[in-house]
Structure 1
Amino acid sequence: MITLQHAYIVVGLMFLAFAVFTALDRTHPTRIRNTLFWGLIAASMLFGPALGGLGNGLLVVALVIVGAVGKMGVGKPATTTLEERREGAARRGNALFVPALIIPLVAVGGTLLAKYTDAGAWLISSTQTTLIALGLGCLIALVVAIAWFRPPVMAPVQEGRRLMDSIGWAAVLPQMLASLGAVFLAADVGGVVGELVSQTVPLTTPLLAVVAYCLGMALFTVIMGNAFAAFPVMTAAIGLPIVVHQFGGNPAIVCAIGMLAGFCGTLMTPMAANFNVVPANLLELPDRDAALNGVIRAQIPTALVMLAVNIVLMYALAFRF
């Protein structure tokens, strides 16, 4: 049976490969720093359970120190040429999106198979099923892309290394902010927030509760920089006690759409550096700070529209199914 630990091992081996290839790349501008950074992440994925709380805490401190010493450089590994990529893109057209579409299809299909079929339940663990299916989707898409495009053998690893170098230290923000959300939940920040909201806004109808929950998810994500950090707080404050328990909302629908509402906040905040800094870095724009603000300004209208859509969907679906 495939478990979440297997997914961690695969991701750990990927980061270990990034560290090894960076160490061997003598042209890399910050070879030692990047090698240490990706190597520490690999260690956390591969040996996290064995390190324990103290060991993982020290590892995180080491990551912060390495990331704070200076800016991480970007390697320029040789894989395929620009002309080869343009020729391949022109020849295949929109079919290039097939590997990318495989990932969500396998993630959704694997989750449903594990839930509703005996074979799927035997193959995929019932704990964190969606994450496991997502990992399988990535691996299947990688195999399909390699068989179809026939790149150089090490191209996937080298291009992955280049991509992660472009993102830099911001790659670890989702995990750290999710951990911060768990700390807030343990400290009962959700209860405090829920009490403040109840005193400020009378949540006397399902519609008001849904609006408060979705807006709270978006606003708290803007502050925290990540919907994974906002989710446990706002769900404990409003989602579960009011939308689900008080008004009878479907918890699966409420939580799924609530997370999407939080992602709308991700589009509107510079705190979500791991997400909004990516376009500026990948395009190698000269003024990254101005580019980051430009990316956010361009995303705000879409985020507001999607937030309104999420409110409507939750109100329309959560109390009827």
Structure 2
Amino acid sequence: MIGLNIVYPVAGTVFLLFALLGVRARRWGNAAFHALLALSLLVGDRIGDLGNGALVLSLIAVATFGRMRARRTDDILAVAPRGNALFVPALVIPAAALIGTLLFKQMPALIDAKQGTLVALTLGVLLALAICYCWIRPALSAPFREGLRLMDDIGWAAVLPQMLASLGAVFAASGVGEVVGGIAGQAIPQGSLIGAVIAYGLGMALFTMVMGNAFAAFPVMAAAVGLPLLVHGYGADPAPVAAIGMLAGFCGTLMTPMAANFNLVPAALLELKDRSAVIKAQVPTALPLLAFNILFLWLVIR
């Protein structure tokens, strides 16, 4: 059955190529960081919890020592002008992800239903890469050199979403959701649907601001309010509860420096004097959007 067994090798191979290119350019810190990521993706399921823990600590050490450096702007690949047609390969990826997700649901014997979207996304990336090779005809290493340049500009923050999502799973496994649920149960008036919806929506936004990622906040708030109160208590459909809850969490992403890859890295790349400039620009959008998501979820459930 096709699932993560195709996603991880593809991603691991890409990071391995990044590491080799980093060694070739004598960028030792960047090469070590990407090699550790490649090792995690390629053999992470074989080295156990202790080995993966050591990998994570090694990644932190490489990032903390400040040995990672951004690539020079003169390394950018020059491409002949092709107008808006250059967007075609980029649009192939989301199109393949959408079509593949819907199509793979009809192939439960071939594609792991839980990983259908990731499989479709991976195939979309490979298809877009093939289109670029056939159409633009760059050097074999060109896409990976450009990918490495982008990864070097982002730096250690590239792995922040995965780290924070793992943190959310740890919080859920340690019972944080149950504790938060107990507090919420005491604070929400008995039988108040709007109170439960507000607690869920605000909780998703606030926990996302603390953790930096809605994927980290979701396990906590789903266990605390989403499942026990909204789904089991009021009979809400789990799909909109999860989807709109994530949207509420994303509103928190717009307002926190913990989401460094979204809010601090762009400020650094644009060389803004105020590191919080991106967050300040997003808050006027995030707050009304959060209120709308809470209202929308209430209307869906009631």
TM class, shorter-chain normalised?
Answer: over 0.9
Q: 1:277 to 1:316 in 2, by over 3 A?
A: same
More helix per residue: 1 or 2? 1
Q: Is residue 225–residue 271 contact of structure 1 (8 Å, CA) maintained in 2?
A: yes
1:177 aligns with 2:160: no
CA displacement at 1:203 relative to structure 2: 5.6
The equivalent position to 1:58 in structure 2, one of 49, 54, 59, is: 54
The equivalent position to 1:156 in structure 2, one of 143, 148, 162, is: 143
User: 1:111-144, CA deviations, whole angstroms, 9 ceiling, x for partnerless residues?
Assistant: 22122x2xx3344212322222222222223333
Q: Is residue 114–residue 122 contact of structure 1 (8 Å, CA) maintained in 2?
A: no
The equivalent position to 1:207 in structure 2, one of 189, 194, 218, is: 194
Deviates more, 1:12-21 or 1:147-156: 147-156
The equivalent position to 1:237 in structure 2, one of 224, 228, 231, is: 224
Deviates more, 1:297-306 or 1:47-56: 297-306
Matches of 1:70 and 1:19 in 2, distance apart?
A: 17
| TM-score, L = length of structure 1 | 0.87
Deviates more, 1:125-134 or 1:8-17: 125-134
- Corresponding residue for residue 97 of structure 2: 107
Q: 1:228 to 1:305 in 2, by over 3 A?
A: same
- Identity, % of aligned positions: 55
1:258 aligns with 2:245: yes
- Corresponding residue for residue 32 of structure 1: 28
User: 1:183-213, CA deviations, whole angstroms, 9 ceiling, x for partnerless residues?
Assistant: 1111111111111122223262333222221
Q: 1:286 to 1:22 in 2, by over 3 A?
A: farther
CA RMSD of aligned residues (A): 2.0
Deviates more, 1:199-208 or 1:180-189: 199-208
Q: 1:207 to 1:103 in 2, by over 3 A?
A: farther
Matches of 2:190 and 2:249 in 1, distance apart?
A: 20
> Given residue 295 of structure 1, which amino acid in structure 2 is its aligned partner?
V
Unmatched segments (≥5 aa) in structure 2: none
What does 1:1-321 correspond to in 2, within 5 Å? Answer: 1-26=1-26, 31-76=27-72, 78=75, 80-81=77-78, 84=79, 88=81, 91-93=82-84, 95-115=85-105, 117=106, 120-202=107-189, 204-283=191-270, 285=271, 287=273, 290=274, 292-318=275-301
| TM-score, L = length of structure 2 | 0.92
Q: Is residue 62–residue 68 contact of structure 2 (8 Å, CA) maintained in 1?
A: no
User: 1:228-256, CA deviations, whole angstroms, 9 ceiling, x for partnerless residues?
Assistant: 11110011000111111101111122112
User: 1:84-124, CA deviations, whole angstroms, 9 ceiling, x for partnerless residues?
Assistant: 4xx62xx423x443333332222222222122x2xx33442
> Given residue 189 of structure 2, which amino acid in structure 1 is its aligned partner?
P
Q: 1:110 to 1:206 in 2, by over 3 A?
A: farther
Q: 1:210 to 1:147 in 2, by over 3 A?
A: farther
CA displacement at 1:180 relative to structure 2: 1.1
Matches of 1:306 and 1:35 in 2, distance apart?
A: 40
Q: 1:196 to 1:18 in 2, by over 3 A?
A: same
Matches of 1:109 and 1:96 in 2, distance apart?
A: 21
Q: 1:286 to 1:247 in 2, by over 3 A?
A: closer
> Given residue 80 of structure 1, which amino acid in structure 2 is its aligned partner?
L
Q: Is residue 203–residue 209 contact of structure 1 (8 Å, CA) maintained in 2?
A: no
Q: Is residue 171–residue 177 contact of structure 2 (8 Å, CA) maintained in 1?
A: yes
User: 1:271-290, CA deviations, whole angstroms, 9 ceiling, x for partnerless residues?
Assistant: 1112223323443x164xx2
Q: Is residue 264–residue 276 contact of structure 2 (8 Å, CA) maintained in 1?
A: no
CA displacement at 1:72 relative to structure 2: 1.7
Matches of 1:122 and 1:207 in 2, distance apart?
A: 42
How many residue pairs align between the two structures?
Answer: 301
> Given residue 108 of structure 1, which amino acid in structure 2 is its aligned partner?
L
Q: Is residue 166–residue 281 contact of structure 1 (8 Å, CA) maintained in 2?
A: no
Q: Is residue 195–residue 237 contact of structure 1 (8 Å, CA) maintained in 2?
A: yes
